[in-house]
A and B are shown apart, each in its own frame.
Chain A
Amino acid sequence: MGGLPAGAIPQDGHDFALWEKRIDALMVLCGGKGLFTVDGLRRALEDMGEDAFEKHSYYERWIAAVNQNLIEAGVYSLEELGQRMAAVSRRGATYGEAQDG
């Protein structure tokens, strides 16, 4: 997107929430352990298409890209992910309640 026209730069900031920090940590740790490369992450982010940038926040895109790379690396399967996400959802209605234990 470098060089494209765009509007004024939004200067509002926000503090990172715990789930965002965790995604950042997972990304760094998985990269450090060689589970995927930063190029793999970039490829997954680019594959989401341009409108993903408008529809999803920064760390939402990152967890999607981390997940895509881990499935491709065979760390876990799509079925395991789906089952686990369903189980997480059943634990509670909020992020705090959905933690295990």
Chain B
Amino acid sequence: MPHDHHDHFHHEGLSPSGHPYRSDNDEPLSYWQCMEIAVRELLIEKGQITPAEIAVQIDAMDARSPANGAAVVARAWVDPAFKQRLLDNAGDASREMGFDIGPLNLIAVENTADTHNLIVCTLCSCYPRNLLGLPPDWYKTREYRSRAVREPRAVLREFGVDLPAGTTVRVHDSTADMRYIVLPARPNGTDSMTETELASLVTRDSMIGTGLPRQP
């Protein structure tokens, strides 16, 4: 990607080369890192949370990946009854497969031959993190959040998805308690593939709507 688009404004969160600041344990302590340490220690001292709870939470976070969502999508592709349950209540259907969805409402939106769905959180960064892991950086940018609802077709072209003019594009704006996941259309030529093989075609971006599944 060209980097000239960073010229418009300066992010302190970006390095001089225009890349995200990658703080690590041996970087100079920042004000906000100092605050994180202080807040964490005070929460522990006040008996509100334990170090073990934090460790478990981070492990759970690290364990979540788009592979979880891909497994759900592949199941929907091979099992029409499951697909219907997924479209009726994506949270409950995902829980059937053993995924912890938490208390939030999860809605699956289906891509078809004539409709393409795209998800965004214009407010902040709400994302189906229980099925996809933490959101990619671009999902949280001002640029994506501003433009996804204004010119979704242009945004999709930037991601390499050029839809026919006749395709309906639906943009779903997430909220804190209402998350969306895209159920991409099953690619042609996959009739003989197993559920596991199908899952390998399902990319993270295809479940956000900024991408399409891989072709077999």
Q: Which residues of A contact B (CB under 8 A)?
A: 1-26, 28-30, 33, 35, 38-39, 42, 45, 53-60, 63-64, 66-67, 70, 75-76, 80-81, 84-85, 87-89, 92-100
In the complex the two chains form, is A80's CB within 8 Å of B34's CB? no
In the complex the two chains form, is B137's CB within 8 Å of A24's CB? no
CB distance from A8 to the nearest CB of B (A): 4
In the complex the two chains form, is B145's CB within 8 Å of A1's CB? yes
Chain B residues with Cβ below 8 Å from A20 are: 23
By CB atoms of chain B within 10 A, which of A7, A35, A81, A89 has the most? Answer: A7
Q: Which residues of B contact A (CB under 8 A)?
A: 1, 5-6, 8-13, 18-30, 32-43, 46, 48-49, 53-54, 57-58, 61-62, 120, 122-125, 134, 136-138, 140-150, 155, 158-159, 173, 176-177
Chain A residues with Cβ below 8 Å from B20 are: 12-14, 57
CB distance from B175 to the nearest CB of A (A): 9
Known A22-B54, A96-B26; judge A33-B49 contact (CB<8 A).
Answer: yes
Partner of A38, one of B36, B140, B147, B176: B176
In the complex the two chains form, is B49's CB within 8 Å of A30's CB? yes
Known A22-B58, A29-B53; judge A7-B32 contact (CB<8 A).
Answer: no
In the complex the two chains form, is B138's CB within 8 Å of A11's CB? yes
Cα A18 to Cα B57 in complex, Å, equals: 12
By CB atoms of chain A within 10 A, which of B42, B61, B138, B146 has the most? Answer: B42
Chain B residues with Cβ below 8 Å from A64 are: 32, 35
Partner of A10, one of B27, B43, B141: B141
CB distance from A70 to the nearest CB of B (A): 7
Cα A59 to Cα B20 in complex, Å, equals: 12
Chain A residues with Cβ below 8 Å from B6 are: 10
In the complex the two chains form, is A1's CB within 8 Å of B137's CB? no
By CB atoms of chain A within 10 A, which of B33, B143, B144, B150 has the most? Answer: B33
* Nearest-neighbor residue (CB-CB) of B4 within chain A: A8
In the complex the two chains form, is A13's CB within 8 Å of B61's CB? no
Known A2-B122, A42-B123; judge A7-B21 contact (CB<8 A).
Answer: no
28 CB-based A-B contacts, threshold 8 Å: A3-B122, A7-B8, A7-B143, A9-B138, A10-B141, A12-B1, A14-B19, A15-B22, A19-B23, A19-B36, A23-B36, A24-B57, A24-B134, A25-B58, A26-B40, A26-B43, A26-B49, A28-B57, A33-B48, A42-B124, A56-B13, A64-B32, A70-B42, A81-B38, A85-B38, A94-B26, A97-B29, A98-B33
Chain B residues with Cβ below 8 Å from A25 are: 54, 57-58, 61
